[in-house]
Amino acid sequence: MSLTDLTIDELSRGYVDTGEAYECIFCKEIFDGQEVFNIEGRFFTAKKAIHLHIEKEHISVFEALLQLNKKDTGLSDIQTELLKLFATGAPDKEIINSTSANSISTIRQHRFKLKEKEKQAKVFLAIMQALETTKVYEPIHKGATQVDERFAITVDEKEKVLATYFKHGLDGPIESFPSKEKRKIILLQYIVTKFEVGRKYSEKEVNEILKPIYSDYVSIRRYLIEYGFLDRNDDCTTYWVK
């Protein structure tokens, strides 16, 4: 499991709890939850053992995280250096002697930037979590004659409906046409993609495109007009994408 797959809690504690074992995220050592571990003559549970392991092998979760690649931490060398010094609790005057920062104002500026980075990270995580729960809707075609809840179609809904009716793949036929309005619109949205925008079609050409899709191609042709996907001239000799 890569770092990008881990949760904030897993990263901050330094291990993954699989339910059956505990795995160190830094060196991948595994402690079986059913075992008891002898450490320096004392016996510990797997959970306690992995805490002792991190302390012994990696000093602390904080230290181990700071040693990760810059690509993973997003920290510059000076930021990493200062964070280690901040963790000691040393005053800014003492930190000057242990870092490349050459003044107290520079150190305070870095403190401020790191706090801002923390705040921004929280907001960004909230944004990404919100994105995961946000429904993405299909765009409504411009020719829709009456826009209502029937056209509130999510990407997931579209995929499920198409998979249900096009059982042999999207290039194959459908065995039935839905009576429910939303499903009907989803199928029509896909079927109209078989036509080229800007091209004029005769009724025969329209039928030839629709016949392989569904046996009652006349009804499909009528629905495409009725729902505003196709348009035609008054004598019904020429059709085009609306």
Give pLDDT tens digits for 180-199: 989 999 999 999 999 999 99
Regarding whether 57 and 13 lie in a shared domain, the answer is yes
pLDDT digits (tens, 9 = 90+) for 48-66: 999 999 999 999 999 999 9
For residue 2, being part of any structural domain is answered with: yes
- Residues 125-146 have a mean pLDDT of 72
For residue 143, being part of any structural domain is answered with: no
Last residue of a domain, one of 111, 134, 157: 134
Domain containing residue 95: 75-134
pLDDT at 191: 96
Using the Cα atoms of residue 93, residue 98, residue 103 and residue 105 in order, give the sign of their dihedral: negative
Regarding whether 158 and 87 lie in a shared domain, the answer is no
For residue 141, being part of any structural domain is answered with: no
Regarding whether 80 and 62 lie in a shared domain, the answer is no
Regarding whether 81 and 58 lie in a shared domain, the answer is no
| Number of structural domains the chain divides into | 3
Round to whole Å and give the CA distance between 236 and 5: 57
The strand pairing partners of 31, in sequence order, are 22
Residue 148 has pLDDT above 70, yes or no: no
Q: Look at the chain and count its residues.
A: 242
pTM above 0.75, yes or no: no
For residue 119, being part of any structural domain is answered with: yes
For residue 140, being part of any structural domain is answered with: no
Regarding whether 120 and 60 lie in a shared domain, the answer is no
For residue 226, being part of any structural domain is answered with: yes
pLDDT digits (tens, 9 = 90+) for 98-128: 887 778 888 899 999 999 999 999 999 888 8
CATH number at residue 177: 1.10.10
pLDDT at 134: 65
pLDDT digits (tens, 9 = 90+) for 201-241: 999 999 999 999 999 999 999 999 999 999 999 898 999 99
